Amino acid sequence: MDELKALPKIDLHCHLDGSLSKQFIESCLNKSIDSNDLTAPFDCASLAEYLTKFDIPVSCIQTKENLKNAVLDLIKQAKEDNIKYIEIRFAPTLSLNPDLSYRDIYEGVIEGSRDGLKQYGIYSNIIICAMRHHTSEQNLAMLKSGREYLGSGVCALDLAGDEAGFSNELFSYLFEEASRLDMPFTVHSGECRNVNNIRIAVEAGAKRIGHGICLGNDKELMRLCKEKHIGFELCPTSNYQTKAVKPGEAYPLRDFLDCGIAATVNTDNRTVSNTSMSREYEFITEKLNIAKDELIQLYKNSIELSFANDDIKNILFKEIRA
């Protein structure tokens, strides 16, 4: 484990609310919290059950100061995990309240990101999430306000939430507006075994797919994703918890790499899944037939697929040349 922890890492799929430390949450709420209220069991019945663990942490990011400190809390964890770059995603609308505007929300998380670089030397960017259960008016307002910060701390858009209840075909308006605004986007797709959601996202212009576990069920789509160099943000621990991969089923990472699919490995939710990048590396090397030298390829994939600018990408490449 020490050898894996020493490797440089990149996390492209990490939710802020699902990754807040227990200590941070308790300091915000000024009371003790049972770890079981924050961490999902490994044998979750579904993604919907997994998502119930987000209510408490979301209540902790309802002020500008807490948003800044939440990002710092996550970047501190990233430092301990030897992560060199992290894309932190969150849903701004879940923090919107009468005392907190979108401008306050964005400035809070961006300030935390910048302070994280100063204090811990970790590069980061923010991905803003539209939510499947929100109205089109809510999602478009969030997107348009966030677009003002593209390149200044915000790097992309995401669509998250209950995929089984709200398929991608309902969000053409969001993908079209993101394209019109030149806002790059990734989309949670194929986590709930609906391969058509992956196709819709790719055809709409998504640069990356969050999870995409069931891609192998459609060989034609698999070839298309390879040709387009679509990135796949795999999160092994989370994928088993949410039953995106059922017990006894083969995890697709090995097949993705062998077929030339641009795959990455990420944490998804460090606290909810009780994981870290080092633990994910340990899992894939011990259980998924991933050789340790292939971890370097995963790191390179993450650099290439990241929404970071070229200067940051060059710095990240140097980490593996040293």
Residues marked as catalytic: 191
Cβ proximity of 88 and 109 under 8 Å: yes
DSSP category for residue 40: -
Termini Cα distance of the chain: 21
The angle at the Cα of 246, spanning 240 to 248, to the nearest 5 degrees, equals 110
Whole-number Å distance between alpha carbons of 155 and 92: 14
Of the candidates 76, 65, 157, which has an alpha carbon nearest to the alpha carbon of residue 109?
A: 65
Burial classification of residue 33, based on how many CB atoms lie within 10 Å of its CB (0-12 exposed, 13-18 middle, 19 or more buried): middle
Cβ proximity of 153 and 114 under 8 Å: yes
Whole-number Å distance between alpha carbons of 180 and 175: 9
Of the candidates 99, 53, 87, 96, which has an alpha carbon nearest to the alpha carbon of residue 235?
A: 87
Beta bridge partners of 156: 127
Whole-number Å distance between alpha carbons of 64 and 169: 34
